[in-house]
Structure formats: structure tokens, C-alpha cells
């Protein structure tokens, strides 16, 4: 019998994070929006709980959590505040990217500082506001100058950029190779020529999203990461795993939006009874709980398969396919939950006295985090049809623009 019930250690972690989210994150969500980040005492609590290094593998001194544990924690954080998984994550996506695309020695080199200083942040600079239409590849360029690289260009929609101590920047190394000529570079905070400007977005205000400008940023060769033969496959694996974590956040958002709305329709009355007693409202609430259960099951199964891949008990294609299905469904279900929560609150739904308008905005923004549903459909269909996988399915384009990781 298939059993996705958490083990004793996972349950203890899940309970602790759920309590933190319920008593600290959720009540202070509006404060976080105004600050565009979490207050120092909240950050300190997250560090004390070990949440800031949750993404670091054991080989680099981190907890080395199984992927199933990761998605459990992500859901709980997002149920408190969907921005929390970004703003309290320490190295976050940076650590996942380094883990996937580097060997163990380089992984330890880049990630150990985050264990030694758990209040440090990392960020991944992937998206660009204007993808190059004339050719494949990024507008941000990396050119050889002697035994070093010089980076020029602008990266957009970078989560946590202004607080990051280290960034992973994707740039064009070889113009002729188009998308196969993309490279990744580790750029420390304070590097000459690096500037960061915060931007205002639809939702996820606490996630701290910014544009990153690079003007003649000089970097040593050691900062260049993509010299592995299976570079493109490693990059594909990173994006899919990262998007699966976003799907877990979508699940947490669904849970919060549905529970708040369920409570509201039981107290709001019309025609002498709670509006939740009317069939149209009751059926809507029921459908959203069905979405929630389906999202959670799909996300957990995909995470389980990634852990099975690590143990040589499943194939990567199985994990890729399950992940794509979970990501696409969870994103759409989160949007349905946010939209219906506003609808069922009526005029109160778009007032900031209630949290549901925030859930709707956050849900929409989560739909463009990491991978879009268009991209997951493209990747899943290639697996289902037995076609080779291409990491170019993840590139920013007019048709499927994933804006940040």
C-alpha cells in the first residue's frame, strides 16, 4: 500500500513550522507586505529553527533533507505567508542550483559559508525583461578578458536580490551556440559594477524582487560553473525541482485561502442563514478542497520519486513527468482558490481588511515562478511521446515567459 504519511522526524518538523506559520507569519502578513521583507525578530526565529539552511545538502554541512521533507516544510510556510518560503530561505534556490549543477567539492565550497553564517542569503538571476528575439540566448553577456570573465547586462525579476550575499547569474558565453552557449557565474555581493534596484510586483511583496544590473563585472574563472558534460540536463533537473517546491507553496496558499473562506461563509449571513448553507457556495468550497487534496498528493508523489531517483529506485523521467503534472495542476488550483476566495467574500474580498485579495495576487505571481504551465505541458508531452528532453523548453520566450526562480 502506498503511504505518504510523514515519519516521526518529518512530523515533528512539520508541526513546528506549522505553529510558526500560524502564530507568527500569518498574523504579520500585512506588516511583511509593507516592509517588503520579514522583521528581524521573525528572521532570527527562522534561523534558530534551521529554516535558513533547509536547502543545503549534508555534504556541505546542511541537514540534507529528503525532497519529501522539503515540500512538507514549503507548504507549511506558504500557508502562513506565501512569500515566506522565499524571504526566509537563506540560500534557497541558489543552494538547489549549486547542488544540481556542481560537483561535491564545488558545492561544499560555495554553500559552506551559508552554514557558517545562517543569516546569509543567496539568489538566482535568470530571467530578462526583453528576451533576445533575433537569436537564441540571453542579452546579458560574459566575455573572456585574459584569465577572467566580464559580465554586462540586466537580469530581471530576481527574488531576494537586494538582500543576497551571493548571486548565481546566467549569461551568454557563446553567442554562436545560442541557448547552448549559456553559462552560470557566482557573483558575490559588493562586486564592482554590480547594482540592484527593487521593483514593485503584483504579489509576494515580502519576497523582495529586484532587477540586477551588471556593468563590466570582472570575475575569476573559478566563478564559472557550467563545465560539466551533462550541463544542460543538470540545469533541467534544477528548474523542475525548484518548480516543484513552488508547487508545494501553491498548495500551502490553497489551504490558507480555502480555510479562511470556509470560516467566512459560515458566519456571513443572507436570507436568514449562513451563505455557506447555499448549495452554490457549499459546492464551491467542496471543489476547492478536492483541488487541495489532489495538489498535495501529486506534489508529494513527485517529491517521493525524486528521493527514489537518489536511491536508484526510480528513473528521472518518472520524476520529471510526475513533477510536471504536479506543478501545472497546483499552479492552476492555487489560482482557482485565490479567485474563488475573493468571489465568495463578495465586496469584502477586495478589501485589505481580509487576506483573500493577497492570496489571489500571490497565486497569480506564483504561476510565473520557475516554470509556467505551458512549459510543464511541453516537457510532460515530450516524455509521454518518447521524445528527447530539451532544456530549451525552459527558456524565456514570448510564448512561455518564466520570469524568475
- Please give the pLDDT value at position 129: 80
- Please give the pLDDT value at position 398: 44
Crossing angle for the helix pair 67-80 and 231-267, nearest 10 degrees? 40
The domain covering 8-120 belongs, at the CATH homologous superfamily level, to Acyl-CoA dehydrogenase/oxidase, N-terminal domain (1.10.540.10)
Is pLDDT at 389 greater than 90 in this prediction?
A: no
pLDDT band at 77 (very low <50, low <70, confident <90, very high): very high
Provide the 10 A C-beta neighbour count for residue 48.
10
Is pLDDT at 133 greater than 70 in this prediction?
A: no
Give pLDDT tens digits for 253-267. Answer: 999 999 999 999 999
- Please give the pLDDT value at position 19: 98
Indicate the pTM of the whole model. Answer: 0.95
DSSP E strands in 51-147: the ranges are 122-125, 141-145
- Please give the pLDDT value at position 83: 94
pLDDT (mean) for 170-188: 91
pLDDT (mean) for 199-228: 91
pLDDT (mean) for 184-213: 94
Alpha helix (H) ranges present in 346-372? 356-366
- Please give the pLDDT value at position 291: 98
Long-range contacts of 144-150 (CB under 8 A, 24+ apart): 145/218, 147/220, 147/221, 148/218, 148/219, 148/220, 148/221, 149/173, 149/185, 149/218, 149/219, 149/220, 149/221, 149/223, 149/224, 150/216, 150/217, 150/218, 150/219
DSSP state of 25: I
pLDDT (mean) for 126-139: 73
CATH architecture of 231-394: Up-down Bundle (1.20)
> Cα–Cα distance between 333 and 253 in angstroms, integer?
10
Minimum mean pLDDT range among 79-93, 226-240, 244-258, 316-330: 226-240
Find the distance separating the first CA and the last CA of the chain, reported in whole Å. 35
> Cα–Cα distance between 32 and 215 in angstroms, integer?
32
> Cα–Cα distance between 186 and 72 in angstroms, integer?
29
Q: CA dist 222 to 148, 149, 173, 341, 399, Å?
A: 9, 10, 15, 49, 35
Q: CA dist 263 to 52, 266, 336, Å?
A: 32, 5, 18
Task: For the chain, give every domain's residue range.
Answer: 8-120, 123-223, 231-394
Give pLDDT tens digits for 320-377. Answer: 999 999 999 999 999 999 999 999 999 999 999 999 999 999 999 999 887 888 889 9
123-223 folds as: Butyryl-CoA Dehydrogenase, subunit A; domain 2 (2.40.110)
- Report the share of the chain in percent with pLDDT over 70: 94
Cβ neighbors of 336 (< 8 A, separation 6 or more) are 288, 291
Amino acid at each position: 500500500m502506498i503511504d505518504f504519511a510523514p515519519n516521526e522526524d518529518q512530523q515533528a518538523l512539520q508541526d513546528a513550522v506549522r505553529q510558526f506559520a500560524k502564530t507568527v507569519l500569518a498574523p504579520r502578513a500585512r506588516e511583511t507586505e509593507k516592509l517588503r521583507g520579514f522583521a528581524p525578530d521573525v528572521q532570527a526565529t527562522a534561523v534558530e529553527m534551521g529554516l535558513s539552511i533547509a536547502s543545503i545538502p549534508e555534504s556541505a554541512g546542511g541537514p540534507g533533507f529528503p525532497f519529501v521533507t522539503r515540500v512538507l516544510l514549503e507548504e507549511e510556510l506558504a500557508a502562513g505567508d506565501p512569500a515566506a518560503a522565499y524571504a526566509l530561505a537563506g540560500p534557497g534556490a541558489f543552494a538547489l542550483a549549486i547542488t544540481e549543477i556542481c560537483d561535491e567539492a564545488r558545492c561544499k565550497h560555495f554553500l559552506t559559508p551559508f552554514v557558517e553564517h545562517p543569516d546569509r542569503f543567496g539568489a538566482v538571476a535568470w530571467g530578462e525583461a526583453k528576451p533576445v528575439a533575433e537569436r537564441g540566448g540571453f542579452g546579458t553577456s560574459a566575455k573572456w578578458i585574459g584569465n577572467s570573465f566580464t559580465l554586462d547586462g540586466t537580469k530581471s525579476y530576481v527574488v531576494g536580490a537586494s538582500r543576497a550575499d551571493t548571486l548565481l547569474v546566467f549569461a551568454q558565453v557563446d553567442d554562436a551556440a545560442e541557448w547552448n552557449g549559456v553559462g552560470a557565474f557566482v557573483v558575490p555581493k559588493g562586486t564592482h559594477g554590480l547594482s540592484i534596484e527593487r521593483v514593485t510586483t503584483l504579489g509576494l511583496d515580502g519576497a523582495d524582487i529586484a532587477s540586477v544590473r551588471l556593468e563590466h563585472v570582472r570575475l575569476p574563472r573559478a566563478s564559472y560553473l557550467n563545465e560539466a558534460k551533462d550541463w544542460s540536463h543538470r540545469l533541467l533537473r534544477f528548474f523542475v525541482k525548484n518548480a516543484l517546491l513552488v508547487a508545494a507553496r501553491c498548495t500551502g496558499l490553497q489551504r490558507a485561502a480555502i480555510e479562511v473562506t470556509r470560516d467566512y461563509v459560515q458566519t456571513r449571513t443572507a436570507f436568514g442563514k449562513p451563505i455557506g448553507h447555499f448549495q452554490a457556495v457549499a459546492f464551491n468550497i467542496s471543489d476547492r478542497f478536492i483541488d487541495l487534496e489532489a495538489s498535495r498528493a501529486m506534489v508529494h508523489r513527485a517529491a517521493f520519486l525524486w528521493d527514489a531517483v537518489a536511491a536508484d529506485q526510480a528513473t528521472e523521467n518518472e520524476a520529471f513527468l510526475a513533477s510536471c503534472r504536479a506543478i501545472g495542476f497546483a499552479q492552476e488550483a492555487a489560482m482557482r482558490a485565490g479567485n474563488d476566495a475573493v468571489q465568495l467574500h463578495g465586496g469584502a474580498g477586495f478589501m485589505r481588511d481580509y487576506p483573500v485579495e493577497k492570496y489571489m495576487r500571490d497565486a497569480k505571481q506564483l504561476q510565473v515562478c520557475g516554470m509556467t504551465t505551458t512549459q510543464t505541458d511541453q516537457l510532460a508531452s515530450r516524455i509521454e511521446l518518447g521524445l528527447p528532453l530539451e532544456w530549451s523548453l525552459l527558456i524565456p520566450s514570448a510564448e512561455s515567459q518564466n520570469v524568475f526562480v
